[in-house]
Amino acid sequence: MSIKITSLNVKGLKSPNKRRLLLRTLNLAKSDIAFIQETHINKAAKIRLTDHRYPMAISAHSVTKRNGVSILLRKTCPFRVTSEVCDSDGRYVLVSGSMHASPCHLLNIYALNARSEQFWVDMTDLVTSLPRGLVIVGGDMNAVPCAAADRRSPAGLERVPGPSGQDKAFYTFLRRTDLLDAWRVLHPDERDFTFYSAPHGSYSRINLFLCNLTCMAMVLRTDIHSITWSDHADISLQLAVPHSSGPWMWKLNASLLRDPEVVAQAQLALEQYFSENAMEDVSP
């Protein structure tokens, strides 16, 4: 079966109408799992990001109305949660569990928009300490893997922007964790962007899905969608997750015992077995 994961920076969910819009958008997209960034919901607020279609939300909130990340699970999603790690500043949430027989770790990140080497060191330690299994990291990285390919300068400027300090710290994180940029793996020669900065007149691909090698082998497709009601485009990742029905065990068809012919054959077989194994030095 396939699992669809969506990631979107929503730039605030304090409005009830916006929360309903988000849940309706996820439902129409048939998303099984959603990574949401910039919820702007503080820890004291009694705001729910769930409904009858998405009854589970694991969230990390800040003490102030900034940052905030959530992972939402559809009611039919086969992911089973076993543990959670929620950042006290609302920058990341880690959910570990399993999908069918596959151990899986989901990490939703809203990175700082200024250079912070320590943040990426902390993320490196978090990812490299995870037990074996599928690793899916998604969110708003506020950095790009390759500035030449993933940024576009304002119109009229021919100079290709070099990597920022945040880009360099993020690249080090990728190298040390061996995570793969899923969209770039499947679209090696394309250019597309997820965010438009009006003040700078520039485009960038800062909303990403990153996978370990085990997970990347299961990726069917990954897409960048349109910028609609948020200032970021939503992105999606589709995985082919093996379905396991558990270990197989043979069971006797009890209806056979009601068939006289089958019973007679079984009795004859038992008589032959004991007659052939009736020697003193052979145990029956």
CATH code, domain carrying 99: 3.60.10.10
pTM: 0.84
Catalytic one of 40, 92, 105, 110: 110
What pLDDT is attached to residue 156?
A: 53
Q: What is the DSSP string of 126-185?
A: HHHTSPSSEEEEEEE-SS-S-HHHHEEPPTT--SPPPPPHHHHHHHHHHHHHT-EEHHHH
Q: Is 125 left (phi over 0), alpha (psi -120 to 50) or beta?
A: alpha
Q: Is residue 80 part of a domain?
A: yes
Q: Which residues of the chain carry a pLDDT beneath 70?
A: 155-160, 244-256, 276-284
What pLDDT is attached to residue 260?
A: 81
Q: Is residue 152 part of a domain?
A: yes
What pLDDT is attached to residue 204?
A: 96
Return the structure tokens found at 113: 């928009």
Binding residues for Mg(2+): 9, 38, 140, 142, 231-232
Q: Is residue 250 part of a domain?
A: no
Q: Are strands 195-197 and 202-204 parallel, antiparallel or unpaired?
A: antiparallel
Look at the chain and report how many structural domains it folds into.
1
Residue 110 annotated in active site: yes
Closest CA to 105 of 77, 74, 138: 138
Q: Is residue 276 part of a domain?
A: no
Q: Is residue 178 part of a domain?
A: yes
What pLDDT is attached to residue 181?
A: 98
What pLDDT is attached to residue 64?
A: 86
Distance CA 181, CA 119 (A): 19
Distance CA 67, CA 64 (A): 8
Catalytic one of 32, 140, 167, 181: 140
Q: Is residue 262 part of a domain?
A: no
Q: Is residue 280 part of a domain?
A: no
Contact 80, 73 (CB under 8 A): no
Domain that holds residue 61: 2-240
What pLDDT is attached to residue 279?
A: 57
